[in-house]
Structure 1
Amino acid sequence: MDKKRNLKGDNYIVISSDEESDRSECFEEEDDAVDDEFAFVQEDNIDNTDHYEFSENTDSSPDPNQNYAILKEEEIRQLQEEDITTVSTILSIPKSAACFLLSHFNWSVGKVSEDWFADEDRVREKVGLLRNPVVSFHPTDLITCSICFDDHQYGSKDVFFAVCGHPFCRDCWTGYIKSAIDEGPACLMLRCPEPSCKAAVGPDLIEGLTTGDHERYKSFLLRSYVEGRREIKWCPAPDCKYAVKFNAGGTKSYDVSCLCLYGFCWNCSEEIHRPVNCKTVENWILKNKDDSLNAQWILGNTKPCPKCKKPIEKNQGCNHMTCLNPCRYEFCWYCLEKYTGHRCCNGYNRATGEYTGADTDKVEAGRDKKRAKRYVEKYLHYYERWANNLSSKKKAMEDLHNVQSTDIMKLAAIQCQSELQLKFIVEAWQQIIECRQVLRWTYAYGYYIPENEELKIQLFEHLQGHAEFSLERLHKCAESEMKEFLFAKGPLESFQDFRIKLVRLTKVTASYFEKLVRALENDLSELDIQGIHRS
């Protein structure tokens, strides 16, 4: 059967069932298709002279189609203050009382207004916003602090009280408030120290009696505001202080990229996991935590060189490994096969053998053992590649940082180029990082494909294999081939060829991964699976 591809028009690649018998031949044909498909990169986008044009547009304004906004602390406080002012105005109460009230209603302005106008007295009693003081004294009266039992004049600067009127000295109030703040967010519901009184202790009194602890109180107040709003979440990255305001609006994408550079899914708060859904991510993470399948222990951190058997640790992003001197054997990190002529090993080998003797007990025991072994082997196959792509992504992020901080400036000086002209290198590394993340989660997708859906498995591995092969070429080019120019003593004519190759591979890889993502997000449902049998 003649194999035909239309990378521009089709979302999926339809293949015959016998094509997988020779993956090397398939990938060789893919190289030719790629060269034809993206020849325009050299002709239209890259001038063969030393002059290389890039857009001068450095506008960093948000994408108008973006369905979320990143909020800094001051922006969150502004939103919080607007809600407090709104409630204060509508209910005709002080801002301090409005703040205390909102914290009880999870910062829902609508819920506060609804309940307040339905039964104001009930809300006041529940929250502790008393209309009038419970006790009252003349400013010249001598009162005894119920905590330290010291006597003070009621109207002096050393005596404070909440709306209830119960007086306590400054030191006792300060200690009481500090103790409450030390206990955590419960301080937002603080009540009068008098055991029988439920009067609210508002932010105004706390601010007047504390200094350093008041900042912690404000922090708790801010966090409660974010956690009480459905449309706002804190970025889950460690030590990140940004929040995200999300507007679903019927969108299918829940991917969020914070200013701290961490990407996560708004729906489940896990890392960005296109093209798999949140349920698959949940199941996969739970499986990885299972002690009976402790893949970290099973896999370890090294693999033996297939030739000299010395342990090899992977310390770079691509999977082309070279053993140290004097061995120098080159092999694939995944399958340990010789790298010369190697193409791709993303497919999972489901072939198995079973005991076929007459002893039924042995037959059943053998089958159970085989099933258990296949279960572990299948899991390790997908887990290793899932985990390895995370390691490769982290290494690529380190490499991108080095490129942006030092390599670009060095290359610009050596190759007599402006930093803007070298933008294509940064874009290549950004594409590598994005594709590593996508490829990582395609292995979780592959693990959960039912084994009886052989045609679906075949197509999945075919699409994934082409995308992974393209990514490996891009990663190797960016990681290894750039070094020649980074350590050159002067400008090299071959730098233009490197530029053309890297730009072409970046575009090719982006195209393959976009097709792969679309296919898997649709669960391959738009494909006529039966077409695999037709030639």
Structure 2
Amino acid sequence: MSGEECESDMDYSEEECGYEDYYNTAEDCDIESVDASKTDPEYFVFECLSVEEVERLLNESVEALSTSLQITPSLAKVLLHTHGWAIDEISDKYRADSTSLLVASNIKPAHSVDISWRSSSSPRAETSCPVCAFARAVTCFCSLACGHAFCRDCWAMHFEVKIMQGVSTGIGCMAQECEVLAPEDMILSLLTRPNLREKYQQFAFRDYVKSHPELRFCPGPNCQVIVRAKEPAAKRALCTSCKTSF
């Protein structure tokens, strides 16, 4: 057999042998996209937020509750922080029995307290402060909802000491065995040092984030990002700022 005949026998195309169809089937072209939510056991939906974005989110909740129940924003913050930012649940309980809710939230005392010191009509009337023991005009005193009265200077000192200890939303009455909490508006009204006011607000923000079921601070070094997951789960998250995985 000649070489030409051999070459002739070997002369064929890919189309005739079906190789083109083998490598280019329609099934191979229809590659399905992989759904990470179904294949990755660590997958869950979350977003990384800045401090400003979280402040806006928290303030929206405060405004919503304050408007709905016709209460002060300061009181709304205490209720939200105490009850895990569950607006609907708080609203239902408040409308059903506001007194019980306020007592359970340490906003009002469980028992009535003598507040006769407020009844004096004379601007010159004086009373002694239980803390410093100085006699001062009644107008120099103030109290929480519990009615325990102390002079403004002692209240201010009490707030300053607590803030220096890292306490903010947990600051309460100075009276023994009284658990009534001091609202934000009263604390800020008596703090005169700007640095302490700033510290208080920073500590309060920290407490609000920690008490919110959808929010968590990124544990990365010096990272200010806060992760939000509307459906909290024990899954791994990756910070988009510092790339810390937690």
TM-score scaled by length of structure 2: 0.69
SS in 2 for 1:189: coil
- Computed over aligned residues only, the root mean square deviation of the Cα atoms, in angstroms, reads 3.1
| Alignment deviations for residues 104-124 of structure 1 (CA, whole Å, 9 cap, x no partner) | 112222332233234322112
Matches for 1:59-458 after TM superposition, within 5 Å: 67-130=45-108, 134-135=114-115, 136-138=118-120, 140=123, 141-155=125-139, 158-185=140-167, 187-195=168-176, 197-210=178-191, 211=193, 212-247=195-230, 254-259=236-241, 261-264=242-245, 269=246
Q: CA deviation at 1:230?
A: 2.5
SS in 1 for 2:119: coil
Higher relative contact order (CA 8 A, sep 6+): 2
Match for residue 57 of structure 1?
none
Cα distance in 2 for residues equivalent to 1:90 and 1:133: 29
How many residues are aligned here?
Answer: 198
CA contact (8 A) 1:142 1:152 kept: yes
Amino acid paired to 1:145: C
Distance 1:169 1:110, change over 3 A: same
Match for residue 429 of structure 1?
none
Which runs of 5 or more structure 1 residues have no equivalent in the other structure?
A: 1-8, 10-65, 270-535
Cα distance in 1 for residues equivalent to 2:180 and 2:229: 36
CA contact (8 A) 2:214 2:228 kept: yes
CA contact (8 A) 1:68 1:256 kept: no
CA contact (8 A) 1:69 1:244 kept: yes
Distance 1:238 1:138, change over 3 A: same
Q: CA deviation at 1:176?
A: 0.9
Distance 1:101 1:115, change over 3 A: same
CA contact (8 A) 2:218 2:239 kept: no
SS in 2 for 1:172: helix
Distance 1:241 1:249, change over 3 A: closer
Which runs of 5 or more structure 2 residues have no equivalent in the other structure?
A: 1-27, 29-43
Q: CA deviation at 1:196?
A: 5.1
Cα distance in 2 for residues equivalent to 1:219 and 1:90: 27
Amino acid paired to 1:216: K
TM-score scaled by length of structure 1: 0.34
CA contact (8 A) 2:127 2:135 kept: yes
After the TM superposition, which of the residue ranges 126-135 and 71-80 deviates more from structure 2?
126-135
Cα distance in 1 for residues equivalent to 2:166 and 2:49: 24
Cα distance in 2 for residues equivalent to 1:86 and 1:208: 24
